[in-house]
Structure 1
Amino acid sequence: MTDPHVAIMMLGLFILIVFLGFPIAFTLMAMGIGFGYYAYFDEGRMWRSYNRLDETASWWDSTSLWIEGFLNNRIFDLFINQTYTVMSNEVLTAVPLFLFMGYIVERANIVDRLFSTLNIASKNVPGSMGVAALITCALFATATGIVGAVVTLMGLLALPAMLKARYNPSFASGIICAGGTLGILIPPSIMLIVYAAASGVSIVRLYAGALLPGFTLVGLYLVYVMGRSILQPSVAPRPTSDEVPDVRFGKLLVMLLTSFFPLAFLILAVLGSILFGLATPTEAASIGALGGILLAFAYRAMTWDRMRESVYLTVRTTAMVCWLFVGSYTFSSVFSYLGGEQVISEFVTGLNLSPVMFLILAQFIIFLLGWPLEWSEIIIIFVPIFLPLLPHFGIDPLFFGILVALNLQTSFLTPPMAMSAYYLKGIAPPEVRLTQIFAGVMPFLFCVLLSMVLMYIFPEIVFVLPELFYGG
């Protein structure tokens, strides 16, 4: 068996073990070290230690030198170097700070104020409560980037209110599930930071490139919600004065100033400082974390327990991402050294695909991977397999990354593994069935696919802002 055959067996065995339910980060590290020991094995280097033995050596000395010889393999040096590389990566430094900002904002009791205000402000808009819920989801998802938290909180807050207002359960559920996933795409997205670290693309260019696609997707969602409310009023009846009270303009303005604008200003301050070069992503994330703490104090929601819980969740999630990177870097280094990357490259280039066909094939594979795997695992482990092929097809990795971010929306919305639907079902009233939630997310899934088609046809949507801000 040749080295490339071993590499392909390594990849197949990893996929099998992942589907069996083993922890992915530790599986990557174990397989990287195990196959790396074979790949970097040097018999002369291993037995060199034994030349120091003499006839009078004790059993302990012999055993110690045998262990030293066994460990005298370059894979261990590689593993240590990769660990240090990940932990000293300046791009990844922003991850814990943005996570901390998200967890603090999540616990600042902003969502209920925000939804109530937007619900009153959009009272005369078709599907007003759905529009308010979608905008709240988009803003909150952008601030936190944590899909499960947004869907759960909005499910506890907005879903009962919409059901009480006689909204169709399926329609209401789809709005919350789709809106909760927008934080993956819209900056400051943690997913884009991880992609930047994996691909080497500038994070500021990624943020600029993701803005218009994110707004496009939100726009498509809003068009669907309002359009269906007009064409089928029974799914989203107009609210009565008892359900949504009339509020004078002055009071409404005060409500907006105390609920909508503080969070919007925090997001714009963080994002604007990055896009206009006033701060690095890490510095902007620090500003965001501090702003989240100040917001929590302003809303009198900051307690020692909430602070401790936010720090704990931040450390836990950051550790998961970093160890995934360590495992992925070790695994991919060994995989490439054995020739696996070359085999895949030759196979794909031998198919004589056009750039568009390659993009469709890559996105379809990522779409399928989104069923059993989290976005972090897809970005860190599988996307780097496609990155070396992009120059052959003349595809900009920035454009590819935005398409991946759009595609990963579907991983949370596609039955039977639609995680956002399961998040919502866990806290929804018993009368809301899982099949109703699945039916509700399907139209939003088509909106995502339509937005991807628009990116294919009009790539300027992705490139116009990066070129405007930073040149070609």
Structure 2
Amino acid sequence: MIRRELWFGLSFMALIVIAATVMLLRVETITNGHLGLLMLTLVVVAIMLGFPTAFTLMGMGMIFTWFAYDRNTTHTLDLMVQAAYKTMANDVLIAVPLFVFMGYLVERANLIETLFKSLHLALARLPGALAVATLVTCTVFATATGIVGAVVTLMGLLALPAMLRAGYSIPLAAGSITAGGCLGILIPPSVLLIVYGATAGVSVVQLYAGAFFPGVMLASLYVAYVILVAKLKPDWAPPLSAADRAVKLPAQTQRLTADAGRHAFAGLIGALKGRRNADVSTGFLLRQLFIVLLPGVLFALLAYTSYRAVTTVAAVEQYEIQEIGSARGGAGEAASSGVQEPPAESEGGLQEPASQGQGGLAEPPGAGAVQEPPGAETKAAPAGGAVKSEAAAAPEEATTRPAPTWWWVCFAVFGAIVALFYLFLSFARLEIFKMLLASFFPLMILILAVLGSIVLGLATPTEAAAMGALGGFLLAAAYRRLTLGVLKESVFLTAKTSAMVCWLFVGSAIFSAAFALLGGQQLVEEWVLGMNLTKIQFLVLSQVIIFILGWPLEWTEIIVIFMPIFIPLLDNFGVDPLFFGLLVALNLQTAFLSPPVAMAAFYLKGVSPPHVTLNQIFLGMLPFMGIQVLAILLLYMWPQIGLWLPQLLYK
């Protein structure tokens, strides 16, 4: 296998070098723009040979900048300093170490084992339950951490042996783990979206809002594929046995009943009466009842507060309308206006003494300079009273409005889920729910708090990342995993990852500046525009190029090297950079799944049993790569999948 990978890599590099050579030989005069394309070619080949990406970008950028400046070392060094300073002054990058720190702390809280066990018991009735539980666990954990290597490695240690013991197909098990583990680079809070936003100048907040539904759609397609395969090929994903689905009841619950399938709510209520709870403490029963009633209480509170929020009209809007209306009123119509009365008084005070011809001090009172405004107020009282009564009546009529359709749909869906929860709540399912409370819901609360504060505009990505890091710190402490060694390791890994990202940005800035200085960007733009492509053709061409680049390169290299080339072309074809970023984020899932540089496969191979080969892992990843292509097509055909939420929140 190593020889095949080596031959593939060498062949790919040879094709790149041959294409660059043919291009240079066909032109009559080699310009600086052609030198820029040569620099791009050499960078890709050097990265494929294993040179560090960041320093390769910086080195190539400096060498070719020196040629572009006619070997002027001073100008070359000035460009390097300016590019590095511009990158380090980017405030968006502050969120990177904070999100990474949150991910490492959550990873070390060791929730993944309990999460996987509770989910596979909760989903035991579904076909392919273990693979589905693996995908859901990977999705939740990848969203909380965003660290692909950590998620794939942990799930390889935890889920792969369980699926192999259950008789699952090795390719299906490997594909589920690798595909699910890579979702962290797409679903917010994602470092990839921060890097793209900083590179393309797109709002990270809008990227987070836009990537939410495409990420959920991709995860749902994965789950649907696994269920379909388990239905069509039961020998690839055998159903769980009764022993694997069995849930052990606590000792005090066993004193109440030996039947795990008995309805929990009725059993607990019955145990509170008479002698049935003689062997079980009342405190235990009340605690269990509190847990049982918790979903219903939370649903009622959320339904009530959300209904009040969507049906109440803000009073501030009424005051603004009333104030604008009073400002538009005439001077004679609303004499009580504080803005209009002083001119009336001043005009009366200046004109009436002249008409009366009496003392300047006596005439104004006699002429009504002081008395006329009360008279005017008396005359205008009905009108003023009418305005006040209308203003008083308007809020009463407009304080509420009908709830929108989407609220009723959500209310019906969640209400049905809660009703089904209580309808089928046995003692066994109560134990599964308690396991989910201890593993699934803390992570979901942390994720929703971070994403909700960003998407709703309550905090910037940097502020939300800081709160997420604090949440990860508290979560690790709550599960008694926060030790000095864990904290030191998390800080060290965060510094290492953040340094890599920052150096990549510095190298990308120097490379992009050199590429633009040589005229490579202009040459690429002229070449693309000379092809007379339509918008659809341009999007297809760009996504195919990114898909192919995902074979030899990682997503970081594709973002920092090739996005500065694609982004300036978007205006010429009327493509929204936000929408383009969502397509790229979906497409870059292939960077971890496409051989030969499929890092997720190597992460899994490192922890898998010896009989699991790399070929089997690659074979299992191919259907999920096809699903990624399908997700890209769905997003292109229905852009509102990604654009609806940003347009709703930030229109």
Q: Same fold (TM over 0.5)?
A: yes
Contact 2:552 2:596 in 1 (8 A): no
Displacement after TM superposition at 1:40 (Å): 2.8
Query: Hey, what does 2:326 align to over in structure 1?
Result: none
The aligned residue for residue 346 of structure 1 is 526
Residue 264 of structure 1: aligned partner: 444
Matching residue of 1:240: 241
1:78-114 deviations in whole A, cap 9, x for unaligned? 2112212211211111000000111111111110010
* 4+ runs deviating over 3 angstroms: none
Task: Quote how far apart the aligned CAs of 1:150 are.
Answer: 0.6
1:219-238 equivalences in 2 (<5 Å) = 219-238=220-239
* Residue 62 of structure 2 is aligned to residue 33 of structure 1: yes
- Of 391-400 and 21-30, more deviation after overlay is shown by 21-30
Give ranges in structure 1 of 5+ residues lacking alignment. Answer: 43-69
Quote the residue 1:2 is aligned against.
31
CA separation in 1, counterparts of 2:220 and 2:547? 22
1:242 partner SS: helix
Match of 1:63 in 2: none
Measured in 2, the distance between the counterparts of 1:22 and 1:134 equals: 34
Query: CA–CA distance in 2 between the matches of 1:268 and 1:274?
Result: 10
Task: Give the residue type in structure 1 aligned to 2:129.
Answer: S
Which residue does 1:196 correspond to in 2? Answer: 197
Matches within 5 A, 1:421-440: 421-440=601-620
Report the equivalent of 1:215.
216
Note if contact 2:553-2:597 (Cα within 8 Å) is conserved in structure 1.
no
- What are the superposed Cα offsets for residues 410-461 of structure 1, whole Å, 9 maximum, x if unpaired? 1212233322112111111112222221221121111111101101111111
Question: Equivalents in 2 of 1:5, 1:366: separation in Å?
Answer: 22
> Which structure 2 residues correspond to residues 345-424 of structure 1 after superposition, within 5 A?
345-424=525-604
1:153 match: 154
Structure 2 CA distance, aligned partners of 1:163 and 1:267? 31
Letter in 2 for 1:14: V
Counterpart Cα distance in 2 of 1:297 and 1:152: 23
Secondary structure of residue in 2 paired with 1:181: helix
Pair 1:334-2:514 in alignment: yes
Greater Rg, structure 1 or structure 2? Answer: 2
Q: 1:129 & 1:15 partners in 2: Cα distance?
A: 40
Task: State whether residues 363 and 407 of structure 1, in contact with CA within 8 Å, keep that contact through their aligned partners in structure 2.
Answer: yes
1:14 is matched with which residue: 43, 50, 53? 43
* Contact persistence 2:145–2:184 (CA under 8 A): yes
Q: 1:441 aligns with which of 621, 627, 631?
A: 621
Stretch deviating more after TM superposition (15-24 or 342-351): 15-24
The amino acid across from 2:544 in the alignment is F
**Which one is further off, 154-163 or 123-132?**
123-132
Distance in 2 between the 1:415 and 1:454 partners?
Answer: 24
Which residue does 1:78 correspond to in 2?
79
Whether contact under 8 Å (2:140, 2:444) holds in the other structure is: yes
Q: TM-score, normalised by structure 2?
A: 0.67
Aligned sequence identity (%): 57
Q: Which amino acid in structure 2 is aligned with residue 314 of structure 1?
A: T
TM-superposed deviation, 1:41: 4.1
> Is residue 471 of structure 2 the alignment partner of residue 283 of structure 1?
no
1:342 match: secondary structure: helix
Name the amino acid aligned to 2:593: L
SS in 1 for 2:238: coil
How far apart in 2 are the matches of 1:28 and 1:150?
Answer: 29
DSSP-derived class of the 2:593 partner: coil
* Counterpart position of 2:103: 102
Task: Summarize deviations over 1:360-391 as a string: whole Å, max 9, x none.
Answer: 11111111211222211111111111000011
What are the superposed Cα offsets for residues 311-348 of structure 1, whole Å, 9 maximum, x if unpaired?
11111111111111111111111211121110000001
The residue identity in structure 2 corresponding to 1:467 is: Q
1:58 alignment partner in structure 2: none
Residue type matched to 1:449 in 2? V
238 and 19 in structure 1: CA distance in 2 versus 1, 3 angstrom threshold: closer
Give the AA of the match of 2:60.
Answer: M
Contact 2:122 2:429 in 1 (8 A): no
Question: CA, structure 1 residues 16+417, in 2 after alignment: closer, same or farther (shift >3 Å)?
Answer: closer
Assess if the C-alpha contact under 8 Å between 2:592 and 2:599 holds in 1.
yes
Q: What residue is the counterpart of 2:118 in the other structure? A: 117
Amino acid corresponding to residue 235 of structure 2 in structure 1 = S
Secondary structure at the residue paired with 1:234? coil
The one-character-per-residue Cα deviations of 1:104-151 (angstroms, maximum 9, x if unpaired) are 111111100100111111111111111111100000111111111111
Q: RMSD across aligned C-alpha pairs, in angstroms? A: 1.4
Task: Give distance in 1, aligned partners of 2:433 and 2:235.
Answer: 31
CA distance in 2, matches of 1:279, 1:418: 36
The residue identity in structure 1 corresponding to 2:162 is A
The answer to whether the Cα contact below 8 Å between 1:165 and 1:243 also exists between their aligned partners in 2 is no
> Which structure has more RCO (C-alpha within 8 Å, separation ≥ 6)?
2
Do the aligned partners of 2:48 and 2:553 also contact (CA within 8 Å) in 1? no
Amino acid at match of 1:460: Q
CA distance in 2, matches of 1:202, 1:395: 16
- Which secondary structure state, in structure 1, belongs to the residue aligned with residue 151 of structure 2? helix
User: Paired residue for 1:52?
Assistant: none
How many Å separate the matches in 2 of 1:15 and 1:253? 50
Q: Does 1:185 align with 2:214?
A: no
CA distance in 1, matches of 2:183, 2:67: 43
Aligned 8 A contact 2:116 2:133 in 1: yes
Alpha-carbon offset, residue 8 of structure 1 = 2.4
Residue 403 of structure 1, CA deviation: 0.8
CA contact (8 A) 2:185 2:589 kept: yes
What's the counterpart of residue 135 of structure 1?
A: 136
Deviation at 1:243, TM superposition (A): 2.1
Q: For residue 480 of structure 2, what is the aligned residue in structure 1?
A: 300
Where do 5+ consecutive residues of structure 2 fail to align?
Answer: 1-29, 249-427
- State the TM-score, normalizing by the size of structure 1: 0.91
1:457 and 2:458 are equivalent in the alignment: no
Aligned residue type for 1:169: I
C-alpha separation between the residues in 1 aligned to 2:65 and 2:238? 62
Distance in 1, matches of 2:32 and 2:602, equals: 42
